[in-house]
Every structure is written in C-alpha cells, then in structure tokens.
Structure 1
C-alpha cells in the first residue's frame, strides 16, 4: 500500500477525532479568521505523518478548496445559521446533515488535490497553514500538542 492510498483509509477518521477534541477552537478559527477546518485538521494529521507540504502547496489547497466552498458550502452554511430560529429541531438537523454532506464533498476535493502533491515542505504543516492567515502556531498550544 502506498502512502497516498493510506490517506483514503484513515485521514478523515483521525481528523474527526482531532475536531472533537478541539471543536470550539476550530470553529473560532473558522469564524474569526476564515480558516478551513478540514485543511486545519489535515495539517495536524500530515504533521503526525512527517509529510510536509510547502507554503505553495498549502496556498493551492486553500485557494482551490475556498473556490468550491465559496460557491456552494459557505452560502448554505449562512442560510442554515440564518434559519436556525425559524425551524423545528428536526428540520434544522436535516440542514446540518446536508452541510455535513457538503463537507464530505470538500474533503474528497482536498484528497484529490493532495494525491497530486509530493512532500516538499521544510516546516510544520500547521505552522505553514496558519501563516497563510497571519497566525502563529505558538498562539495555539493545544493544537500544537496534537501535531
């Protein structure tokens, strides 16, 4: 089994564990700094694999993911948030389920792009990804502990 095939098997399951450990921080970074949670979690997972991507690779991943999400996921997320007080709890849950489906589509797009990249970075993926948003990993020690 090649390393790239390993991405398909365990990547998002492990990332889901990271997310549940630091859900509040992930949502804060998403809402306040427009980070992509999937890419943030990917950076942590890749650091654990010692599979370092370059700043250019991270910029490309961010840009391509953001283009798709800006057209589909982000408008839907905004609609869901606006609708929260107008819907019954089961209707709102249905909206959350659709958003999760869109997140999975985003994850597939990320995996497709990731398979085209080769490790070429020189520093941690978490630090490199955060730097795209002028953030420093030293400001997020709980995330650094995961990497």
Structure 2
C-alpha cells in the first residue's frame, strides 16, 4: 500500500480546507488560466508533506486529468454556468452537487495517476505546476509563499 492509498481521504479533506482558505485565487486561476483546481490543491498539499514532483510529472498529471475532464467535467461545468439564469435555486444547487461529484471522480483519477509516479522533484510543487500555464511565483505570491 502506498503513502497515498493510506491518506487519500485525508488528502482531499485537507485540500478542501486549503480551497476554503484560497477559493477566490483558485477560481481565478481556473477561469483565467485553465488551471486544474484539484491539481493546484494537490501541489499545495504535497509541499506541506515535503514530497516533490518534477515538472514532467506535473505535465503527466495535467494531461491525464485533462483527458477525462475535457470529456465530462468541463462540458458539464459550462452547461451549469449557462443554465444558472434559467434555473430555480434548488435546481441550480442540484447541478452544483453533480459537479462536486464529478470533481470527486477527478480526485480519484488524480490519485490513481499519482500512485503510478515515483518522487523525482526537488522544488516547489506550486511553482512547477503553475509554470505549465506560464505563471510564475510573482503572479500569485500569496499562494506560493504560504506553501513553500
């Protein structure tokens, strides 16, 4: 059993706590730069655990995650956003609940991909992951500096 199999429930619970603290920044990165929030949260969590992935490993995780999300989660998110003005509050909440379920599926897929990797990184996971989107530490210092 790997480190991540033992802690996967706690991993995403911890990530939820990070998300609550930095929700605005996470959503800004998602909407403006197509950053995957689950991977962003994972990068912060891994930094706190002193486990580092290489830039190439972040590319693999990004590509693996995007394959599934581009077919299911991202089109659903777009539909939910387009539907907001046409739905009652409870109907819209149901759509948000389904999207959360899809996010949890993404987290399971990320964890599966992560379990296929070995540790090769030596630097900040957040900086490595954000560099995939041509972002630097100076673009989001409040997020980076807290978790390095």
Residue 127 of structure 1 deviates from its aligned partner by 0.5
Query: Gaps (5+ residues) in structure 1?
Result: none
Q: Distance in 2 between matches of 1:2 and 1:77?
A: 32
2:94 pairs with 1:86: no
Query: Gaps (5+ residues) in structure 2?
Result: none
Q: Distance in 2 between matches of 1:138 and 1:7?
A: 31
* Contact kept? 1:18, 1:146, Cα under 8 Å: no
Q: Distance in 1 between matches of 2:15 and 2:41?
A: 5
Cα RMSD, aligned residues only? 1.2
Q: Distance in 1 between matches of 2:145 and 2:21?
A: 11
Q: Distance in 1 between matches of 2:119 and 2:7?
A: 13
Could you say which residue in structure 2 is the equivalent of 1:112?
112
Q: Distance in 2 between matches of 1:13 and 1:5?
A: 14
Residue 146 of structure 1 deviates from its aligned partner by 3.3
Q: Distance in 2 between matches of 1:49 and 1:37?
A: 18
Q: 3-state SS of the aligned residue for 1:139?
A: coil
TM value normalised by structure 1: 0.95
Q: Distance in 2 between matches of 1:111 and 1:50?
A: 17
Structure 1 residue runs of 4 or more that deviate by more than 4 Å after TM superposition: none
**Residues 64-75 of structure 1: pairs in structure 2 closer than 5 A:** 64-75=64-75
* Contact kept? 1:51, 1:119, Cα under 8 Å: yes
2:137 pairs with 1:143: no
